[in-house]
């Protein structure tokens, strides 16, 4: 059986296999939800911008008796965070992101939005420890991508297939390695959905480091609204399974869990060098 650093392991089936095994090893379960799921569970309120009484807590509300509806809304608010990067106070607001990507009666469905929640299986508390939102890459002021015109992409020698990437809008967690697990599940989804890669705009040093740990590259840095921003990308064919396994500590010292328990070689002479996942 080839070692994990072999290119034979770098395929969609293997990534999905690692996601399943890593969930057991880390006790972090990541569930993904599409537009129809989220639209059924939440209600996006239309706020009166002229009113001083409106607060961010009013953006989302539960829309179903499904227990997941309450878990979703409460978790989104609990995972809000802010950090000071230089002279700027940066807000990470999952509720605002969900409201923008999953608002009913808009063009949201065409964006193919997706939401991931990470749960810590070591605790019975029905609250998520991580949230991630994203959609297909589009030029949008809300997504901070409006500058990426075809001319801008050519001028700064950015990936020409950037428009066919899946774009992460917000990722927030308060429990390691929930962030890494969500990135893995995003990557698996993007690979299965035939996106050419995954992109995100990091606005903090912590966000940049999280992307680098997974395998993203710092593709382009620029300043906007007084804050430093970094476009990070990874192609579907650029993820190293050996690197990912090392970061998530899924296997043992010899990395035999993935190789021996969750895969097998071909049974015929012509397929004996191929890897078949069975997890």
Per-residue pLDDT tens for 90-114?
A: 677 899 999 989 987 657 778 899 9
Mean pLDDT of the 132-150 span: 92
Q: Are 183 and 213 in contact (CB under 8 A)?
A: no
Pairing of strands 275-277, 130-136: unpaired
Return the axis-axis angle of helices 94-101 and 67-78, rounded to nearest 10°. Answer: 130
Mean pLDDT of the 172-194 span: 93
Question: In this predicted structure, what is the pLDDT of residue 18?
Answer: 83
Question: In this predicted structure, what is the pLDDT of residue 55?
Answer: 47
The CATH label, of 3.30.1360.40, 3.40.630.30, 3.60.20.10, 1.10.10.10, for the domain at 7-277 is: 3.40.630.30
Question: In this predicted structure, what is the pLDDT of residue 127?
Answer: 82
Beginning with the edge strand found earlier in the chain, give each strand of the sheet holding 130-136 in spatial order.
28-33, 114-120, 130-136, 165-173, 197-202, 227-235, 217-224
Better-predicted residue by pLDDT, 181 or 11 = 181
Q: Whose structure tokens read 């190789």?
A: 259
Cβ neighbours around 34 below 10 Å, total: 14
The pLDDT of residue 155 is above 80: yes
Most confident of 69-83, 170-184, 252-266: 170-184
The pTM of this model reads 0.86
Per-residue pLDDT tens for 34-81?
A: 999 999 999 988 765 444 444 445 789 999 899 999 999 999 999 887
3-state secondary structure of 42: strand
Domain borders along the chain are 7-277
């Amino acid at each position: 059986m080839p070692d994990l650093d072999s290119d034979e392991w770098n395929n969609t089936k293997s990534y999905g296999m690692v996601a399943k095994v890593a969930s057991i090893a880390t006790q972090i379960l990541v569930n993904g939800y599409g537009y129809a799921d989220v639209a059924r569970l939440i209600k996006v309120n239309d706020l009166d911008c002229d009113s001083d009484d409106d607060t961010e807590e009013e953006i989302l509300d539960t829309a179903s008796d499904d227990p997941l509806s309450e878990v979703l809304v409460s978790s989104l608010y609990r995972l809000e965070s802010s950090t000071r990067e230089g002279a700027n106070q940066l807000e990470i607001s999952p509720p605002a992101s969900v409201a923008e990507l999953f608002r009913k009666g808009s063009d949201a469905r065409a964006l193919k939005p997706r939401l991931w929640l990470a749960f810590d299986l070591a605790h019975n508390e029905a609250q998520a420890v991580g949230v991630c939102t994203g959609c297909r890459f589009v030029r949008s002021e809300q997504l901070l991508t409006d500058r990426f015109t075809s001319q801008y992409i050519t001028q700064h020698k950015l990936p020409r297939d950037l428009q066919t990437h899946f774009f992460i809008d917000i990722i927030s967690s308060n429990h390691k390695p929930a962030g890494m697990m969500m990135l893995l599940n995003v990557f698996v989804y993007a690979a299965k959905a035939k996106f050419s890669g995954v992109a995100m705009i990091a606005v903090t040093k912590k966000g940049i480091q999280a992307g680098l740990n997974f395998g993203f590259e710092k593709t382009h840095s620029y300043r906007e609204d007084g804050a430093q921003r970094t476009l990070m990308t990874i192609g579907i064919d650029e993820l190293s399974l050996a690197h990912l396994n090392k970061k998530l500590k899924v296997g043992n010292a010899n990395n035999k869990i993935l190789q021996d328990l969750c895969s097998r070689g071909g049974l015929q002479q012509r397929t004996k060098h191929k890897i078949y996942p069975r997890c």
